[in-house]
Amino acid sequence: MTGATSSRSFVKSNNLYGWLFISIAVILLAVFLLYPIVYSLYLSTTSSKGIVQNFVGLKNYIRLVKDPMFLLALKNTFTLFIIQVPIMLLLALILASLLNDKTIKFRGIFRTGIFLPAVTSLVAYTILFKMMFALDGFINTALMNLHIIKEPIPWLLDPVWAKITIMIALTWRWTGYNMVFYLSALQNIPDEIYEASEIDGASKVQQFFHITIPILKPLIVFTSIMSTIGTLQLFDEPMNLAQAGVTSATTGPGNSLLTLSVYIYNLCFKYMPDFGYAATVSYVIVFIVAILTVIQFKVAGDKS
């Protein structure tokens, strides 16, 4: 009898403590995360000019299709995402599997050096790249001295080259970061698997495609989702590569670096504020992230 009561009161107090422990975080998250997410969805159905806010239903979503700036931002973001993410992840995978080979000397130094870019702030490294890729900057000077090019490349002055520059910068910053994830997972694969396959006559390339990639599959999905979200949110880099930063008239030559996040910022803080329409654009990112995540899980054949 007493045992039952005390255990019931224990469950009760347990429950109370559960709420107490999570309370502060849950309140903060409800106010600063969940409420904004829901409110943003509501905002996306309104039109606000100044302080007047009108309900317009799906009108904002229809406006998207006819908005050349939005379509450009969408195209730019997708171009960066489709080209840069696979190159970077493949590079990270190759580096990780090379560095997992115990016969390679100075593995620690290679790993640390290649990872080093991942500790820099996004703004700092972007500005570093902006200086290096200036018309009369280090990269052009070096390439001309090496007689690889005759004329300086207009890295940040031409729409196509500007995209290439930002892709180079992104790859520099994130390859080592992804490599470390892969490398730590590879170190958990028993050497015997590779040894056995070697006896069976498998080449290094075959091992890479038939052992390394399948084992790392969950991690590859995880890193590609993270990179997808990261690319769709790209803001610090395009903003700081632009000629005059936040105050630039265009983001990159011919708005070639205008990403969705930059466009949202512009809609809120640069042009006449239109929070309703900005929220609509932001929900486009939410939908794209959701769709791409589902696709990535499907491609990986992950049942969970």
Interface positions, 164-223, toward another protein (CB under 8 A): 172, 175-176, 180-181, 184-185, 204, 219, 222
Cβ contacts of residue 60 below 8 Å, gap of 6+?
Answer: 44, 45, 46, 47, 276, 277, 279, 280
Residue 53 near another protein by CB under 8 A: no
Pick the stretch among 22-30, 70-78, 79-87, 209-217 that binds another protein (CB under 8 A): 22-30
Residue 55 near another protein by CB under 8 A: no
Q: How far is the CB of 4 from another protein (least distance, A)?
A: 18
Residue 254 near another protein by CB under 8 A: no
Residue 268 near another protein by CB under 8 A: yes
The residue from 1, 4, 25, 146 that contacts another protein (CB under 8 A) is: 25
Residue 43 near another protein by CB under 8 A: yes
Residue 275 near another protein by CB under 8 A: yes
The residue from 113, 195, 210, 271 that contacts another protein (CB under 8 A) is: 113
The residue from 81, 227, 264, 266 that contacts another protein (CB under 8 A) is: 264
Pick the stretch among 55-63, 121-129, 146-154, 207-215 that binds another protein (CB under 8 A): 121-129
Residue 146 near another protein by CB under 8 A: no
